[in-house]
């Protein structure tokens, strides 16, 4: 059975973590996975869709198409799976036009209705899909990590020598820029503290020493393991309810305690006092990081608990069979959440 994923690009984080990570599980079921970028528009995209008649399963990732393109895709795909891990039915948190987009909503409605199976990255996204199609075909597959690819942090530093970690792309770095008051509070509490920024762009903040580490799929695990505390911050709005918390899972896989705000999936991942802290104000963020900075053993204990939580609940191994079943259409359950 041939499975073809239509994606943004092979190096895109969503493809690597949500589809390619399960390639071995698909192969074990007799399915071969290939991927190709979705053609931008017009005639090349129509030709691409017409060629889909040669494959058994099409997995479209994240893209919501025009109604005519959705119609053609549905006619050409023998089996159609739609996978998404963002609130693709609206504009993002930083849009000057506001979040509501009737066009995106209509396209999302059309796409989930056309798909045979819908794979959503969290419960909120699954609920949005289930309101617009048969709930029985909507399933939650969280974004997963392979813990074996992440060395554990040694937690050898103390005090202001501690390094915070933030990982992401230049597009998501905008959220960290919005968290400037939080970074300022940390810098005032622990003058000289460093932020290991694993990204394709840098951040200008006078209160924290930023150490830019260019992102690479080959080195991201080692880069995180060289840090001491993973940090994240999201604006609290409808778009971020659809975020699937990959960076937090990566921190936990690398044995880092996590300090973040209780937005979206963060409360599902972070157990306060056990794997990190959920904080709502800049001074609380600074206090939590200060406590962790002065206690390497606490960081180590929380980091190990986070690693176990990822292994048990959010690892590729935990979800491989479920993903393969749903792609192949073998699932017989009618529950909303997988």
3-class SS string, the chain: CEEEEEECCCCCHHHHHHCHHHHHHHHHCCCEEEEEECCCCHHHHHHHHHHHHHCCEEEEECCCCCHHHHHHHHHHCCCEEEEECCCCCCCCCCCCCCCCCHHHHHHHHHHHHHCCEEEECCHHHHHHHHCCCCHHHEEECCCCECHHHCCCCCCCCCHHHCEEEEECCCCCHHHHHHCHHHHHHHHHHCCCCEEEEEECCCCCCCCCEEEEEECCCCCHHHHHHCCCEEECCCCCCCCHHHCCCHHHHHHHHCCCCEEECCCCCHHHHCCECCCEEECCCHHHHHHHHHHHHCCHHHHHHHHHHHHHHHHHHCEHHHHHHHHHHHHHCCCCCCCCCC
Summarize pLDDT for 281-320 with one digit per residue, the tens. 999 999 999 999 999 999 999 999 999 999 999 999 999 9
Residue 62 CA to residue 104 CA, distance in Å, equals: 12
Summarize pLDDT for 39-90 with one digit per residue, the tens. 988 899 999 999 999 999 999 999 999 999 999 999 999 999 999 999 999 9
Query: In the CATH hierarchy, which fold is given to the domain comprising 147-313?
Result: Rossmann fold (3.40.50)
Looking at the predicted structure, is the pLDDT value of residue 333 above 90?
A: no
Looking at the predicted structure, is the pLDDT value of residue 336 above 80?
A: no
How many Cβ atoms are within 10 Å of 309's Cβ, its own excluded? Answer: 19
pLDDT of residue 94: 74
Higher pLDDT, 232 or 95: 232
Pinpoint the residues of the chain covered by CATH 3.40.50.2300.
2-144+316-328
Higher pLDDT, 338 or 157: 157
Query: What average pLDDT is seen over the chain?
Result: 94
Please report, rounded to a whole number, the percentage of residues in the chain having pLDDT higher than 90: 86
Looking at the predicted structure, is the pLDDT value of residue 164 above 90?
A: yes
Summarize pLDDT for 179-217 with one digit per residue, the tens. 889 999 999 999 999 999 999 888 888 889 999 999 998
pLDDT of residue 332: 44
Give the CATH number of domain 2-144+316-328; options: 3.40.50.2300, 3.40.50.300, 3.40.50.1390, 2.60.40.1180: 3.40.50.2300
Query: Helix 180-189 and helix 282-293: axis angle, to 10°?
Result: 40
Would you say the pTM of this structure is higher than 0.75? Answer: yes
| HSE toward the beta carbon, residue 216, CA cutoff 13 A | 7
pLDDT of residue 331: 63
pLDDT of residue 92: 86
Pinpoint the residues of the chain covered by CATH 3.40.50.2000.
147-313
Summarize pLDDT for 20-46 with one digit per residue, the tens. 999 999 999 999 999 999 998 889 999
**pLDDT interval class at 96 (50, 70, 90):** confident
**pLDDT interval class at 337 (50, 70, 90):** very low
Of 111, 119, 104, which Cα lies nearest the Cα of 3? 119
């Amino acid at each position: 059975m041939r499975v073809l994923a239509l994606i943004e690009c092979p190096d895109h984080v969503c493809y690597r973590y949500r589809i390619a990570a399960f390639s071995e599980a698909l192969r074990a079921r007799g399915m071969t996975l290939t991927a190709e970028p979705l053609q931008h528009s017009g005639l090349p995209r129509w030709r691409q869709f017409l060629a889909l008649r040669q494959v058994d399963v099409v997995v479209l990732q994240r893209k919501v198409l025009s109604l005519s393109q959705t119609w053609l895709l549905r006619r050409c795909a023998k089996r159609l799976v739609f996978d998404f891990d963002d609130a693709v039915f609206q504009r993002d948190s930083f849009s000057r036009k506001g979040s509501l987009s009737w066009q995106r909503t209509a396209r999302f409605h059309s796409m989930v209705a056309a798909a045979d199976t819908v794979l959503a990255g969290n419960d909120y996204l699954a609920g949005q899909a289930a309101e617009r199609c048969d709930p029985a075909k909507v399933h939650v597959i969280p974004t997963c990590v392979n813990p074996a690819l992440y060395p554990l942090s040694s937690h050898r530093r103390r005090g202001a020598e501690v390094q915070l970690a933030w990982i992401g792309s230049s597009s998501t770095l905008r959220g960290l820029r919005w968290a400037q008051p939080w970074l300022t509070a940390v810098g005032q509490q622990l003058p000289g503290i460093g932020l290991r920024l694993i990204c394709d762009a840098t951040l200008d903040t006078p209160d924290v020493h930023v150490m830019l580490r260019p992102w690479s799929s080959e080195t991201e695990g080692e880069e995180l393991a060289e840090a001491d505390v993973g940090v994240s911050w999201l604006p609290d709005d409808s778009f971020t309810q659809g975020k699937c918390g990959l960076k937090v899972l990566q921190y936990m896989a690398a044995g880092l305690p996590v300090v973040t705000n209780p937005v979206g999936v963060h409360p599902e991942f972070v157990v306060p006092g056990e794997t990190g802290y959920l904080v709502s104000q800049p001074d609380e963020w600074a206090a939590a990081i200060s406590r962790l900075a002065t206690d390497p053993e606490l960081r180590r204990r929380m980091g190990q608990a986070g690693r176990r939580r990822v292994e048990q609940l959010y690892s590729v191994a935990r979800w491989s069979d479920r993903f393969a079943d749903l792609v192949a259409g073998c699932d017989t359950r009618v529950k909303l959440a997988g």
